[in-house]
Structure 1
Amino acid sequence: MHSLDFIAQLDWDTLPEPVRIRARQCLRDLIGVAAGGLNTNLSAIIRDHAAFDLPGEMPMMFDHRSAAPAAAAMAMGMTIDSLDGHDGYNPSKGHVGCPLLPVLLVLGHLKQVSGREFMTALVAGYEFGARAAAAQHATAPDYHTSGSWGAVAGAAAGARLMGLSTEPARHALGIAEYHGPRSQMMRCIDHPTMLKDGSGYGAMAAVSAVQLAARGFTGAPSLIAEQAPEYWGDLGDSWLILQQYFKPYPVCRWAQAPVEAILALRSAHGLQSADIAEITVESFHEAIRLATAEPKTTEEAQYSTSFPCAVAMVRGRVAPADLDGAALHDPEILRLSRGLRMTESEQANAVFPETRLARVTLALRDGRNLVSDWHQPRWDPDVPPSEAELSEKYHELADPVLGPERARAIAATIERLEDAPLTALTDHLFGAV
């Protein structure tokens, strides 16, 4: 089946129940992360840019202002991306939902679609995006950000929402692939900045591509959708939305296995940071490249291995407040972060990206060395979080920013969105906090 045929024919009522449950969980999680990222400088700057420099009538998420549709999608995608706590897909080394959700909210609002149609398009976008990522990684020589293939996924799901027939939809994919941000991910790993994972520009490219194709603009065929057929044959048989991971901590997924190892040793031995002379982390090459030991910004803290590990040892947690503001100057966190040693492990390299392994050695001040087991990040697809854990994460992020009443209303609306208009949700999302 051609990928666009799959997207056009998808029906919410015939989806397996676990897929429908997961779609609601992904939607709620992304909105919670967006709320958690709202107070970052990144989000403030990009929303100002959209409102003042790219004006229009499309309401922006959690903001009283509006912007052009593509600009509103960009601001939404970058706000989600400003707090690195959203879901992801191990084989893609990236994130489907972050560039996808803004496209669907913007185009769904413009088209005034039903909640059922929106939720169906969300599932379609996850299924398309996971395969698009694998196809691009296999056919392109560089490792690109999620915004690159995410632009194509957003265009595919967005074309369905806008009711484009097959030929204009094909052009939308081609436009999005051609104009999408083919940004090199490791550049932002080596030099963490507000560029992050390219998701905002991917969302912007997708909205623009769908609108252009609807007007008759043509694009070259999408290479990843049409010239890598081996990645698309299991559509409708294997549901890759169920293979997404969730993040317990708002930092790069590559840093989460060593955080787990440190928290396990800390708990098992009743340790405090004052007991630790030095931390050593063994992990895969990409995790070692997250090398910012003294972050000056939250972006540098989120794209670091040493700093979150030091936070975990000092505070017994890694929360948004631990990655910005006063936490960046905490002398005990900085002591451990500066002194943390990272070594590359061939064992960890061999199983990346499907599995992200790390092992930690704590050198204690009393002369002992404590060595952890090999750890994976929590909440991988094979050991997913419970509904209660995901709900707790959502409220921890959303309640302080949106207020508990608004956060509860959003969560409740998501649970019954397939039986309501999309405005039942967007009425809560659009407008200032």
Structure 2
Amino acid sequence: MTPLELIHGLHWSDLPPPVQARAELVLLDLIGIAAGGHGTRLSHIIRDHAAEMFGGSAPMLFDHRRASPPGVALAGGMMIDSLDGHDGYNPSKGHIGCALFPAALTLAHRTGAPGAAFLATLVMGYEFGARAAEALHGTAADFHTSGSWGAVTAAAAAARLLKLDRETTRHALGIAEYHGPRSQMMRCIDHPTMVKDGSGWGSMAGVSAALLSQKGFTGAPAVTVEDAPEHWADLGDRWAILEQYFKPYPVCRWAHAPVEAVLALRRAHDLGPDQVERIEIETFHEAVRLAVKEPKLSDEAQYSTSYPAALAMVHGGIRAEHLADDALTDPEVMRLSRSMVLRESDFANAEFPLRRFARVTLVLRGGRDVHSGWVTPRWDHTDPPSSEELRAKYHDLADPVLGRSRADAIEDALSTLPKTGLAPLTDQLFAPIS
């Protein structure tokens, strides 16, 4: 199967039952993260920007205002990215769904796509996006944000929903690759701000590329699609959507292994934060650099290793409300974050990015230390969460924002989407949050 055959030839009825079931769950998870991120400063700013600067008639996610499809994709992608709890793909060191979902949603609504066609587009996007990410990282030296290959993935989804012919689709992919945000991920790791992982910009660029190609704008080829065949050879034989990890905590995945190690020691030794003098972490290079010890804003707290580990020690977990801008002043969390020691490990470096290892020492008051072994994050694709666990995560995020009845209505609409169509879902997603 070629990339173009995947884009235009994949049908819902062709998909194995586990892939169909996973499509519903990744979509539910993304919607929960969007609801949880709706109230962030980043989300307010980007939705205002889309409404003011991207005039159009397309409805925005969880907002009463409208914008153009590229503006809607930008706002939706950035809303999801504003709470770093969405699924990801270890080989790419990034995320597929964040850019894909808002692009597919706005154009499925625009074109009146059936529910099954929308879900098949989502699956296609995960398969396409996984290979596009691997192709980019395999052919370019710099570590680019998810928005870079997310732009090409969003263009693929848009081209499918717009029913572009194959040559026009080639141009859409090329335009998206050329104009997509090849932003430097480690710059945001070193200086966490609202630019995040570039996913919203990638979604916007991908939708724009498809709409431009539809008008005759040229841009082919996309070199990561056409000149890196080794990364596309397993299309149709392997389902990358089943290889996504999920996040139990809304912080950068690189912080999850230290968090799990802290929680395991906390439980095993029945410890409270007042008993801990400091936390020491060994992990891989990138996670050591992800160490904003005194975050002032939510984006800095999410892109940190030390602050989430301190939150875990104090609260026994990490919830979205712990990361709100006005919640970053807990003196005990700040004490443990400031005093944290992070060290780089050759072992953890060698395993990254396919596995993310950390081990933790809690230096206790009174002179005793307790140590974890090497720990990896929960909910990796090799040991995924159950459907019940993901649904509980969704409700933890969505219920306080949407209300239980509306959150239930979204869940019900997803369960019948292949049969009932998009309207029951979009009626909920395009209504404002009061």
Q: Which category describes the TM-score, using the shorter chain as reference length?
A: over 0.9
Shift of 1:54: 1.8
Report percent identity of matched pairs. 61
Q: Map 1:133-152 to 2 at 5 A.
A: 133-152=133-152
Distance in 2 of aligned mates of 1:364 and 1:141: 42
Q: State which drifts further: 190-199 or 48-57.
A: 48-57
CA distance in 2, matches of 1:363, 1:33: 35
1:264 corresponds to 2:264: yes
Match of 1:282 in 2: 282
**TM superposition score normalised by structure 1:** 0.99
2:392 alignment partner in structure 1: 392
Alpha-carbon distance in structure 1 between the residues aligned to 2:381 and 2:173 = 28
8 Å Cα contact 1:92-1:137 kept in structure 2: yes
Question: Structure 1 residue 220: deviation in Å?
Answer: 2.9
- The whole-number CA distance in structure 1 between the counterparts of 2:16 and 2:397 is 29
User: For residue 66 of structure 2, what is the amino acid of its counterpart?
Assistant: S
2:346 counterpart residue number: 346
Provide Cα deviations, 1:224-249, integer angstroms capped at 9, x if missing partner: 10000001111011000000000000
Tell me how large the CA RMSD over aligned residues is. Answer: 0.7
Q: Is the 8 A contact 1:65 1:431 kept in 2?
A: no
Paired residues in the alignment total 433
**1:47-98 deviation line (CA, Å, top 9, x unaligned):** 0001112221110000000011101110000000000000000000000000
> Is the Cα–Cα contact under 8 Å of residues 116 and 420 in structure 1 kept in the other structure?
no
Aligned to 2:68: 68
Q: Is the 8 A contact 2:362 2:370 kept in 1?
A: yes
Alignment of 1:187-206 (within 5 A): 187-206=187-206
State the match for 2:336 in structure 1: 336
Separation in 1, partners of 2:420, 2:124: 19
The Cα of 1:431 is off from its aligned counterpart by: 1.8
Q: Match for residue 44 of structure 1?
A: 44
Match of 2:315?
315
Residue by residue over 1:254-282, the C-alpha shift from the partner in whole angstroms, topping out at 9 and shown as x without a partner, is 00000000000000100000000110000
In 1, are the aligned partners of 2:172 and 2:220 still within 8 Å (CA)? no
- Pairwise mapping of residues 111-150 of structure 1 onto structure 2 (< 5 A)? 111-150=111-150
Residue 200 of structure 2 is aligned to residue 214 of structure 1: no
**Any idea what the Cα deviations from partners look like across 1:130-186, whole Å, max 9, x if unmatched?**
010000001012110000000001111221111111000000000000110010000
Structure 1 SS opposite 2:328: helix
Long gaps (5+) in structure 1: none
Instruction: Spell out, residue by residue over 1:260-317, the C-alpha distance to the aligned partner (whole angstroms, 9 max, x if none).
Output: 0000000010000000011000000000011200000000000000000000001111
Gaps of at least 5 residues in structure 2 are none
Equivalent in the alignment of 1:373: 373
Matched residue type, 1:139: T
Bigger mean CA deviation after superposition, 120-129 or 321-330: 321-330
In 2, Cα distance between equivalents of 1:159 and 1:56: 20
Counterpart for residue 83 of structure 2: 83
> In structure 2, how many angstroms separate the alpha carbons of the residues matched to 1:236 and 1:69?
30
- CA distance in 1: counterparts of 2:380 and 2:266, whole angstroms: 22
| Structure 1 residue ranges (4+ consecutive) displaced by more than 4 angstroms after TM superposition | none
TM-score (norm 2): 0.99
Partner Cα distance (1:431, 1:412) in 2: 16
* Amino acid aligned to 2:240: L
Partner of 1:428: 428
Q: Displacement, 1:323?
A: 1.1
Distance 2:106 2:326 in 1: 36
CA apart distance, 1:326: 4.3
The aligned counterpart of 1:292 is 292
Query: Is 1:102 aligned to 2:99, yes or no?
Result: no
Residue 9 of structure 1: CA displacement? 1.3
Taking the aligned partners of 1:245 and 1:291, their CA distance within structure 2 comes to 22
Give the structure 2 partner of residue 12 of structure 1.
Answer: 12
